[in-house]
Amino acid sequence: MTRHDSAGATPANPLIARVEGYFAAVDRKDPGATLSFLAPDAVFTIATFDTVYCGRDTEIAGMFERLFARYTRIWHGGFDHVVQPPDRIATRFRVENETAQRQKIIKSNCNFFRCRDGLFDEVFVYMSGDNALR
């Protein structure tokens, strides 16, 4: 297991690059790019709210559609990664969301990812505050 702080650096580890690429797609509010990081049969669990979404093109796609509609701006950064080769990574990070009324919502989250064939097939989310992924 190795720990990485990617504060501004280009990630050399492919799992770190995958995670940061995924969050960059979320921040652009690009549904196609966001979903391209997930396996078709992915399971996305928001553990802090006992919520599970199954299937990239159905329940998970709907989750992201609602997220992108809810906020005018989404940002993830300040990543701190722990990599467990060959296929697992835990990432702690800061989230800043902004509503149409310009209310800024700041969170501290931690996600656990498992990859299969280069795609995330399991994502576990632990977030502070309200459930932004409802």
Q: What is the CATH number of the domain that holds 29?
A: 3.10.450.50
Using the predicted structure, report yes or no on whether residue 40 has a pLDDT greater than 50.
yes
Query: Is 56 inside a domain boundary?
Result: yes
Classify residue 11: in a domain, yes or no.
Answer: yes
- Cα 24 from chain centre: 9
pLDDT at 39 exceeding the cut of 80: yes
Q: Is 10 within the bounds of a domain?
A: yes
Mean pLDDT confidence for 5-31: 85
Condensed to tens digits (0 to 9), the pLDDT of residues 66-111 reads: 999 999 999 999 999 999 999 999 999 999 999 999 999 999 999 9
Give the structural domain span for 9: 2-41+49-118
- What is the count of structural domains for the chain? 1
Structure tokens at 38: 């997930």
DSSP notation for 117-128? TTEEEEEEEEES
- What pLDDT, on a 0 to 100 scale, did the predictor assign at position 63? 98
